[in-house]
Structure 1
C-alpha cells in the first residue's frame, strides 16, 4: 500500500490534500496488493471520501476481488459514508433535486447496490456477514438490492445471517420474505396483517428486480393491490421494475382488465413506454387482450401511439390478423438487397410474388 493509500485509510486529510496538489498525483491510483484506489481505502472516513469525490475520484472502481466501494464500506460498517454516497445516486432518481454538486456529479447513475464481487455477492451479503441491521435496512429501502440474490455457493443474505446467528437481521429478512410469499400465494389476510405491523413493502427481489406491486398486478390480485395501496406506505404504482416495466405493463400483458382499470383510476401514466417502446395499449393489442385494450382507451390511451420502431397499434393488429403479411415484412427487411437483385435480374417468379404482395 502506498503512502497515499495509507493516509486515506487513516483519514489524514491534510496529508492527502497536499499530496494531491502535486501535478503528477493520481486520485485514482491503485495499490499493487489489492488493487485499492484511495477512495476504496478511505471507506471509514466521510470527510476524506467527500474530499476525494470533489477531486474527481472514480466512485465505481473495483479492487482485485471485484469489491466496490459499497462492499468494503458495508463490511467495515461505516453507515454515514454509505448513506452519503448512495444519496447521490438516490437524488438522480428525482428530477427536481439539485445535481450540480460534486457529490451528485460523482454519483450520477451508479446503482452500487446491484454490483456483485467475484463471489457473486452483493453489499447485502456483506451486511449479513457482519449482522449490520442498520446498513441492511438502508440498502433494501433504497430499492436497489435483490433480497433473494445468491452468491456462488447458492446462499442468500438470509442464509448468511442465520449462519452468523445475527437474529435481528434474520428476523428482518424473514419478515420481507414472508410478505413476498403472502403476495405470491395471494394470502391477502396475512399480507394485510404484515403491512399493518409495519413490514416494509417496497423492497426488490428476483432477477427482474420486481417489487410486490408488480407481482400482484401480474397475478391479477386486485384485493392484494388495494391492500398494498392502503397499508403499503405511499406505494408508487408507476415505478418500473428492474426490467423497466410498470405494474400497468405487467397487468396488460397478462390480460388483467380489472387490475388495469383500478391502476388507471389511481392515475398511472397510461401511455408510458416499456423498454422496447411499447405502451400498455400496444402490448394488449399485440397479445390480443381486447377487454384490456377497451379499458385503456376509456382512460385516454393513444390509439395512434408509435413505439420505438414507429409501429402503431393498427400495425400490430393487422399482423395478428394476417400473420403471413408480418412474416413477409420480416423477410423483406432481412432480405431486401438480395430480393432487389433477383427482381432486377428478371426472374419472373420472384417478380410475380412481389407484385402479388
Structure 2
C-alpha cells in the first residue's frame, strides 16, 4: 500500500510525518504575520492571547521578525506588547536585522516604540556599528536622531566612527562627527587620536573632514534668504551651490518656516531631497507647530510624504492645535496619502485639542467627497485596538 506522504503548508516542504495540529494558533499566526494579514493576526491574538508573541521558531525568532516587510503588521505587534529586544540564536536583534537590510522605516518604527538601539550582537556591535561600517547613511542618521550611543566599542575595541572612517564612508563620518562635536568640544581632535594607528589614507580622510568642517563652520551667511528664495523659485542649481558653499539649510522666514517647510508645502521633492542631504532639520516647527512632514501631508504631496517617512521623520508629531499627521492627511483629501501615514504608524484614534479624531473631524465637515476617506478610517479603527503607546506630542 506504500507510505503516506505529506505536504507541510507552513514550511512548504514534503515530509513523511503528518503535520502536527495547531492547537495554540502558532502556525496560523506566523503565516498571517508573514503574509501581512492584519485581520487574521488580530483575530488570532484575540483568540489565543499575547502568548503568541512569545513563541519562537527554530532560529529563536518570534513572529515580529516576520513583520519586517509589513509596517501595519509591525505596529499591531508592537502595540500588542511584542518584545522588541529579543535576540535570536545568533545573538542578532530586530534592530540589527533592520539595519543590515537598510530598512529605514522599520528601524525608525522600532526606535519610536522604544527598542534598545544600543543592543549588541555576538560581535558586541550595535546597529550603529553595522550601519557605519557599511556606509548606510540613512540608517546612521535615524539611529543618531533617536539617541543611539555613538562611542560604544565592539569586541575589537572599535567605535562606529572608526569603522566608518576605515570604510571611507565620508557622509557617515560627518554625521558621527557632528554628534560627537555636540557631546564634546574636542571631538574632532578625538577622531584624529582614534585614527592615529590606522593607515595613511584614513588619517588623510580624517584631516580632510576636520578642516572641511572647520571651514564650513566659519562661513558667514550674509543673506540667509537666498536659500529660501531658491526653494520658493524651485531653483535647484542655486540651492545646491549655496549649500555646497556652506549656507545654512535652516534659515527661517517670517512664519518661522525653514526651507524644508517651504519645499514640503510647495511639493518640491528634489529640493526636499537636497536639503535633507545637507542635514536640514526634519523636525523643525513653524509658528503653528507644523513640521515639514505635516505640511506635505496637509497638501497631499504623496512623494514628499513618502520620502520624509522613509527618512524617519516623526510620524506621531502634532501641531499646536493637537492635530496629527492623520488629521492632516485626511484634510488633504488624498486617500493614498492617508493610507501611507497610517501604514507608517499614524494613530487614527488621536484626538486634537477639540477632542476630535480624524474620523470625527471629517464627519463634522459633511463633505460628500470625503466618503472614501471616512470608510478607510472606519476600517482602520475597527482593525486596531486603541493605542497603549504615548500620545502624539505637541511642541512645548
Instruction: Name the TM-score, length of structure 2 as normaliser.
Output: 0.37
Computing the radius of gyration from Cα coordinates, the structure with the larger value is 1
Where relative contact order (Cα < 8 A, 6+ residues apart) is larger, the structure is 2
